Amino acid sequence: MSRPAVRMTAGSGASGSTAMTRVRTFRVWRERESARQCLVLGASNTLPAVEKPVTFFSAGTRLAGDLYVPDGPGPWPGVVLCCGYTGIKDLYLNDMGRRMSSAGYVALTFDYKGWGQSEGPRLRLAPYGRVEDTQAAMTFLGLQPEAIADRIGLYGISYGGSTATFAAAIDSRARAIVSVTGVGDGARWMRNVRYPWEYRDFIARGHRDWEEQVISGASTMAERAEVLKHDPRSAKIAAQARKNLKGAAMEVPLEFIHETLAFRPEWVVDRISPRAALFITSDADELVLPEESAALFSRAGEPRKLVTLKGYGHYEVFNRPAIDEVMAETIAWYERYL
């Protein structure tokens, strides 16, 4: 990051107001650079931030969010953070929002319709509805006085990376995107974490539920693990993270199956270019295989980048020490393109 020029030598002709503006510009640069360096070294919350609950609407449904605003003079570039498959804003994203505000970005986390503190039919996947919610979040963030309306990026973890990718592909307001362990093709994702006979049974179960839902109007509820097939390493971490988390879903409707199979962000990822797309994965992720991020990267246009972390499982990517690496890459990407 280049240092801004600051010249206040006698006789330069600069007015007092211009000199003060330059001093403030340098101070902002110094604070943001200090925050970025601390993120690289693994520290978070370098700059104190204002955190406040907010509400906004998506297709007439009230959504709950949290806004993380940097301390100091604004306005600031903004980032909308997207939850994962069965995630809520208070699971992992709250820490990431604080880290981003520490680095000089206004961060907005939110719950999708029917999840967490948001209103709407409960616990539906509705992948295209999540894209709609993300677009509403971008609109809301752009209206905040602390944010620079034409400098808004997207960030998503796990299935939230898929949501962010699709939203950026169809909405040019997203200046830059970061997808962390995202899914490119829902059918391939579900197939690759199951044995062939398991996948056949899985598909058949989803088809039966779809037919029953057409007749009865309701999808059958199932244990979350029956749809989201964890490896042992991920299952243990997920259970611990959700143990005492209010609003964490333990069951999901079986309609998740056919909705997952039908959502394929890699079909549209090429439309993000010439805006910037960063894909982060891990070579040891056995829940969302690294091939998913690689497929998105291979279909994306420039500027693009693929980062493969070493040795971390899926949920380990969202915790220390891996998250320090993720945030360092993320902040560097936003500094360059956002």
pLDDT, tens only, 283-316: 999 999 999 999 999 999 999 999 999 999 999 9
CATH architecture of 38-186+230-244+261-337: 3-Layer(aba) Sandwich (3.40)
Q: Is the pLDDT of residue 9 over 60?
A: no
pTM as predicted: 0.86
Distance of CA 333 to the CA centre of its chain: 14
DSSP state of 230: -
Share the mean pLDDT of the chain. 88
**Side-chain-side CA neighbours of residue 72 (13 Å):** 21
In sequence order, what are the residues at sequence separation of 6 or more whose Cβ sits closer than 8 angstroms to the Cβ of residue 298?
Answer: none
pLDDT interval class at 58 (50, 70, 90)? very high
In sequence order, what are the residues at sequence separation of 6 or more whose Cβ sits closer than 8 angstroms to the Cβ of residue 329?
Answer: 178, 278, 280, 307
* 187 or 23: which leads in pLDDT: 187
Domain boundaries, the chain: 38-186+230-244+261-337
Helix, strand or coil for residue 40?
A: helix
